[in-house]
Amino acid sequence: MKRCYKFFSKLSKRIDILRGYQEFLNKPEIKICKIFDIQWLLCFEAVKNLCITLELLLDTLVLTAMKVTNAQKRDSIIALYEELCN
């Protein structure tokens, strides 16, 4: 979850892409929270939110990876994608 938050927190455009997918597909707008901002009792909700929007997160990662020209950044995005898929 920390890596997922870090990916989306770096550029607001990534959040905009995710929100666009959520709006287009009529899905709830779910925010990716910092894990340390979440009380342990609410950790379940954070994981649940990640699961609800996982497909859209993965689509955003793929779209971003396709546009990135820096190989190291692209590899990092692909690694996060693979981690979320497993």
Summarize pLDDT for 35-65 with one digit per residue, the tens. 665 566 667 777 787 788 888 889 999 999 9
pLDDT: is 30 or 35 the higher one? 30
What are the backbone angles phi and psi of residue 32, rounded to the nearest 5°? -90, 115
Domain range for 57: 2-85
> In the structure, what pLDDT confidence band is assigned to residue 11 with cuts at 50, 70 and 90?
confident
pLDDT: is 36 or 75 the higher one? 75
The dihedral over CA atoms of 32, 35, 36, 39, expressed in degrees to the nearest 10, equals 100
Report d(CA 52, CA 46) in Å as an integer. Answer: 10
Report d(CA 57, CA 66) in Å as an integer. Answer: 14
Number of domains in the chain: 1
